[in-house]
Amino acid sequence: MPQSMKLDLLSRRDVAQDIAEFVFGNSPGPLPAAEPGGHIAIETPSGAMRQYSLVHPGSAPAAYTIAVKHEESGRGGSRAMHKLAVGESVLVQNPANNFPLGSASEYLLIAGGIGVTPIYSMVQHLMSEKARLRMIYCARSAQDAAYVPELQELLGDRLTVHFDGGDASNLYDFWDDFAEPSKAHVYCCGPGPLMEEIKGISGHWPDGAIHFEDFAGVAAVREDDQSFEVNLQKSGQTITVPDDKSILEALRDAGVSTTSSCESGTCGTCKCRLVSGDVDHRDMVLMDEEKPNHIMICVSRAASGGLVLDL
C-alpha cells in the first residue's frame, strides 16, 4: 500500500471547458519526487480513489498539480473533485509512475484531450534537458484543450495542435508521422480510439519504441450486470451490491473500511480473500492460481449467487 498524506487544496482554476487545475500542498516538508509521466492517487470527497497525472515534474516539489475533467457520465470521482473548495484537504498517496520517460535520441509526444497532463509534464522535463522533440495535441475544440498557451510558449513550431470539431472525417492523419520508422520514441496518452489508432499505425516500428498511458483500466460496471449479495464472514454483515456499483463501492456505502488505490483492477491494493462463491474475475492482476481464493473487489463480481469474503 503506497504511503499517503493529507494535503490541502491551495488553489484551483479552470484550464479548459470542464477541466479544472488543482494544486495541493501544505506538507510539513518537501513532497516525494514527481517524475515526468507520474501520477498520484487521491481519495476524492466521495470516498473513491482516483489516479491523476501530475502536471509538473520536480525532484522535491512544494506542491502537486493535477488537472481533472468533469465526467458527468462517470462514476462520481470527477464530480466530487470539482466540488472541492480551496482549503479543503484530501488524502494523497505518494507518486507512482506507470508511464516513465526513457532515454532516447528524439521524442514524439502525442496527447488527446485530458491525456495532455502527463505529456505536458514530459515536455517540461525534456525542454529543460534540451532534448529533440515534437508534440501533436488533438482535441475537439480550443475550448476543450488544456495548457495550449503554455505548450506553445515552450515548444513553438515543434507543437502541432489539431481540433476536429467532433467530426470523425476531420480527425488528425498520423500516417505522415508513422509511415517511416524513425529514431524517436513515441509517448501517447488520450482516449481509447486515439491510442488504438497509434497502436494500429505503428506496428512496423521497432519493439519498445511506442509507449502508452491509459487510466481506464477495467470497467467496474457493465450494462448487463446484476445485483447480488456479499457476506462478510468476520463481521457477519450481508451487503447487497447493486447492479450499478462495484463490491468496493457497496462496502464503502455501508461504512465498511477498505483499502484501495486504482479502483480499476490494475494495482492489486484491494485484493481480498474469497471464502466461497462463483466469481466473475475482471481484474488484470490475479494469477490463475490465486483466483480460486482471492478477488479484486474494485471490479470483479459474483458470476452467480452470492459471495463470502474474509472481511
Sign of torsion, CA 257 283 66 45?
A: negative
* Amino acid 217: pLDDT: 60
Q: Percent of the chain beyond pLDDT 90?
A: 77
The dotted CATH code for 107-213 is 3.40.50.80
Residue 262 confidence (pLDDT) above 80: no
Question: What helix, strand, coil percent values describe the chain, rounded to 5?
Answer: 20, 35, 50
- Higher per-residue confidence, 71 vs 214: 71
Q: Among residues 20, 40, 33, which one has the least CA distance to residue 62?
A: 33
- Give dist(CA 234, CA 41) in Å, integer: 29
Angle between helices 116-128 and 148-155 in degrees, nearest 10: 30
Q: What is the mean pLDDT of residues 38-59?
A: 91
CB 132 within 8 A of CB 162: no
CB 77 within 8 A of CB 68: no
Residue 201 confidence (pLDDT) above 90: yes
Residue 214 confidence (pLDDT) above 80: no
Tell which CATH classification among 2.40.30.10, 2.160.10.10, 3.20.20.100, 1.10.443.10 matches the domain 4-93. 2.40.30.10
Q: What is the mean pLDDT of residues 14-29?
A: 93
Q: What is the mean pLDDT of residues 42-52?
A: 88
- Give dist(CA 260, CA 50) in Å, integer: 9
Residue 75 confidence (pLDDT) above 70: no
- Give dist(CA 124, CA 131) in Å, integer: 10
* Amino acid 28: pLDDT: 79
* Amino acid 24: pLDDT: 97
SS3 state of residue 41: strand
What's the pLDDT tens digit per position in 132-147?
999 999 999 999 999 9
The cell for 230 is 456479499
* Amino acid 310: pLDDT: 94
Q: What is the mean pLDDT of residues 103-131?
A: 97
Q: Which amino acid is at 151?
A: L
Q: What is the mean pLDDT of residues 101-119?
A: 96
Q: Where are the domains of the chain?
A: 4-93, 107-213, 228-309
Residue 184 confidence (pLDDT) above 80: yes
Tell which CATH classification among 1.10.630.10, 3.10.20.30, 3.30.1540.20, 3.20.20.70 matches the domain 228-309. 3.10.20.30
Residue 2 confidence (pLDDT) above 60: no
Q: Which amino acid is at 65?
A: T
* Amino acid 1: pLDDT: 46
What's the whole-model pTM score? 0.81
